[in-house]
Amino acid sequence: MRYYKGNYNQMLEKSIRDNWDMPALTNYVTGETYCYKDLASAIAEIHILFEEVGIRPNDKIAVVGKNTPEWAVVFLATLSYGAIIVPILQNFPVDDIHHIVNHSESKLLFISDNLKDQVQEENIKRVKCIYCYNEKYCLYTSYKKSVPQKIQELREMLKVKYPNGVQKEDIKYAERKNEDIFAINYTSGTTGFSKGVVQTVDNIVGNIGFVKEMGLAKPGNKILTFLPLAHAYGCTLDFLSQIVNGGHITFLIKLPAPNVLIKAFDAIRPSVIFTVPLVVEKIYRSVAEPILTKHAAEMSEEQMEQNIYPNVRNKLIQLFGGEFSQVIIGGAPLNADIEQGLKKLKFPFAVGYGMTECAPLISFISMEKFIAKSVGVVVPNMEVKIASSDPEKIAGEILVKGQNVMMGYYKDEENTAKVIESDGWMHTGDIGTLDKENNLFIKGRCKTMILGPSGQNIYPEALEAKLNNMPFVSECLVIKGEEKLVALVYPDFNAMDEIGIDHKELENIMEDNRKKYNKMVANYEQISEIRLYPNEFEKTPKKNIKRYLYESQKGK
């Protein structure tokens, strides 16, 4: 097993010095850009604020709000000061935000302007100061000392401290040991419970080392970030790995609808793209699938390979900006048919598997070595074992061990002990198999597995993948009904409107889907009913459906 060496603050120091005049962070909407030297000054301003408020090393600093360059500055300033960052997803309910700030014992809270009227200081009494990071002014302070109220005051103080401006030789950040806490990342899972994942410097270094080794983080890399950076996947791969390797990160700011992303990809022309399956699936279905379906009826596979696949592949590549090395797909399972379609097209994609508790990487594979339906090969600094008598054939819980595994859950010894064994093996809660080449295959979640009528193990995610490929199914959930399985389906209304299908026709189509599906599966996996849903299912930031919200609807 490998071990990646390094220390994040030292990496950050070196990157800022080496890339001094190069662009670092850009706002896609306004075009405002921080070069690395500007980033150094912005970090120094936040450090002055920390000093004025009385922040010490290992104090917790919370940040919640829009992903912007200013959000990134707060994050980097916290780490380089020697404090512990607590990134909070902005779509958490305000009561959850209050709870996380209190539970983490954060002493300073940074928020964006859209939350300034929601977060209430009387509900977060430990906090010494609330600072609006994009409008750059102090909203509240309980500190006895006078706190700089606006960014202009900080800049005046910066001029006093650095009369000639912040220079390369001034870049000296706090020394942190690799076993020190780097961040407390509160998860938003499909089970509805949020726990504070304690990530160490070593966890982040392990991930960054692998990302660099795979060629996914290089000097001059152009990155368009649209994933939530308060989540480990986007934060580590889109942001932290890139900034210590001299990358240029553009923050989309807007909601990542396919048409918005396609326009941004064309403008930015990213070097590598980190995304979730939902984005790729929507673009593939709207662009590639209609062309492939049309020609498949009149051409042989050989003719398709020669005349159609190259054109569709090039069309997709151009839609993603045309200059990327790979599109990295993670955070949720990729639809099997779309996976197969991308493989046939020889589209440059890669898949990975991870979790916040591993900051996040567990496995990864690029298209050249990709095995169908796998989530990649276990990364070099991690080990995986399957709790099964035959790990290649019989699915069991996936256990992991290695450099990326978290320290534990913050102030939660009970749940930490349940998840991490005394010998370091961590229970992922996922069920899968592992072949001899270390290719990992996910079958489902332990908590979502349904017990069949005769004790069979039913993995609803596998059944949903089949239903999702049927006509006019946008997304679905398979749950246990009173006696048999039931499918909840959110229809593809856009496709319906294009063809002019009404609700009654849709019901007949769904009944046909049910019958076709039941012929594809074992008796105990058959569904008795399809129930239509008018709205998309509520999802986590990784775009996994919050299953627990719907599983109580057995007999409805």
Adjacency order of strands within the sheet including 440-445? 382-387, 396-402, 426-434, 440-445
Contact predicate 23/60, CB 8 Å: no
Same-domain check for residues 186 and 277: no
Q: Select from 400, 425, 445 the last residue of a domain.
A: 445
Q: What six digits make up the tokens of 230?
A: 């308060």
| Residue 257 in domain | no
CA distance 120 to 106: 15
- My answer on whether omega of the bond before 148 falls inside 30° of 0, hence cis, is no
Same-domain check for residues 425 and 496: no
Q: How many CB atoms lie within 10 A of CB 192?
A: 11
Same-domain check for residues 354 and 245: no
Same-domain check for residues 104 and 235: yes
CA distance 36 to 96: 35
| Residue 335 in domain | yes
The amino acid that residue 119 corresponds to is V
Question: pLDDT in tens for each of the 556 residues of the chain?
Answer: 899 999 999 999 999 999 999 999 999 999 999 999 999 999 999 999 999 889 999 999 999 999 999 999 999 999 999 999 999 988 888 888 999 999 999 999 999 999 988 998 889 988 989 999 988 888 888 876 667 777 788 889 999 999 999 999 999 999 999 999 999 999 864 444 578 999 999 999 999 999 999 999 999 999 999 999 999 999 999 999 999 999 999 999 999 989 999 999 999 999 999 999 889 998 998 999 999 989 988 899 999 999 999 999 999 999 999 999 999 999 878 888 899 999 999 999 999 999 999 999 999 998 888 888 899 999 999 999 999 999 999 999 999 999 999 999 999 999 999 999 999 999 998 999 999 999 999 988 777 778 776 667 788 888 888 898 899 999 999 998 877 899 999 999 888 888 888 888 999 999 999 999 999 888 888 999 999 998 899 887 667 788 878 876 655 5
Which residues on neighbouring strands pair with residue 223, listed in sequence order?
249
Same-domain check for residues 459 and 502: yes
| Residue 429 in domain | yes
Same-domain check for residues 294 and 422: yes
What's phi and psi for 360, nearest 5 deg?
-120, -5
The amino acid that residue 184 corresponds to is I
The amino acid that residue 28 corresponds to is Y
Q: Select from 445, 463, 482 the last residue of a domain.
A: 445
**Residue 118 class from Cβ within 10 Å (0-12 exposed, 13-18 middle, 19+ buried)?**
exposed
CA distance 537 to 531: 13
| Residue 55 in domain | yes
Same-domain check for residues 114 and 159: yes
CA distance 58 to 177: 12
Q: Which CATH number covers residue 526?
A: 3.30.300.30
How far is C-alpha 262 from the chain's CA centre? 19
The count of domains in the chain is 3
| Residue 318 in domain | yes
Same-domain check for residues 160 and 213: yes
Adjacency order of strands within the sheet including 137-141? 137-141, 129-132, 106-111, 60-64, 84-88, 181-186, 196-200, 408-409
As a dihedral over the C-alpha atoms of residue 495, residue 497, residue 501, residue 507, rounded to 10 degrees, the angle is 60
Contact predicate 472/506, CB 8 Å: yes
At 190 the pLDDT is: 41
Same-domain check for residues 413 and 495: no
Q: Which CATH number covers residue 189?
A: 3.40.50.980
Question: Residues 417, 56, 198, CA angle at the centre, nearest 5°?
Answer: 20
Q: Which domain holds residue 538?
A: 451-549
- DSSP state for residue 439 in the 8-state scheme: B
Global pTM reads 0.84
